[in-house]
Structure 1
């Protein structure tokens, strides 16, 4: 099964990184879900929750304030001004 490599970083620290099967985040155009094989994309992140679903079904949640989210070649990068796990 294909997975996503996820990097969630804030301006001053790395918050979380690992493998996942899905990432859901809030952008200025609405909520998006990213799965393995998603086409390359760059979006502006809105303040809100980022949900990272691991292969076992566990969900890692973080609050993220402003920034961007990108995906390319099954690598998801979330860069936020402020971010913390909840």
Structure 2
């Protein structure tokens, strides 16, 4: 099966670079699959897990926290606000962040301030993505 180079880049560093056969990303329009030879495009990403199928047939998942997906001729670049490999995620910290965000959303004060409410929603989504990426079988076929 044909492969292409996938690079996941944040403002701080290169998170991932490798040959893959396909990816599934969460764009703001919905899930978007990319195979080798895909037409050039740019898509804004939402917070979610990026599913990667490697050249050896194994799948892995990477937490991506917003940004853009750029498809080029033989390369896909994910320009992410933040991205984390499963082994870099502290699951207990993510669970604590999830609990804090849920408590903030459940409190009546949140509805008075839309900005704080939106921040809590995004914090919850980031925490859930981190947990999902670490609990998903990251070396499956």
Q: TM-score range by the shorter chain?
A: over 0.9
| Cα RMSD for the two superposed structures | 0.9
Cα deviation, 1:32-79, whole Å, max 9, x if unaligned, reads 000011100100010000111011111121111110001111200001
Q: Which structure 2 residue ranges, 5 or more long, are not aligned?
A: 87-141
TM-score normalized with structure 2 length: 0.59
Structure with the higher fraction of residues in helix conformation: 2
Structure with the higher fraction of residues in strand conformation: 1
Question: How far apart, CA to CA, are the structure 1 residues paired with 2:5 and 2:55?
Answer: 12
Q: CA deviation at 1:10?
A: 1.5
Match of 2:27 in 1: 27
Question: How far apart, CA to CA, are the structure 2 residues paired with 1:3 and 1:26?
Answer: 20
- List 4+ stretches of structure 1 deviating above 6 A: none
Cα deviation, 1:3-47, whole Å, max 9, x if unaligned, reads 111001122111110100001100000000000111001000100
Aligned residue pair count? 86
Match of 1:73 in 2: 73
**Which of 55-64 and 36-45 deviates more?**
55-64
Higher relative contact order (CA 8 A, sep 6+): 1
Equivalent residues in 2 for 1:1-86, closer than 5 Å: 1-86=1-86
Question: How far apart, CA to CA, are the structure 2 residues paired with 1:10 and 1:63?
Answer: 12
Larger radius of gyration: 2
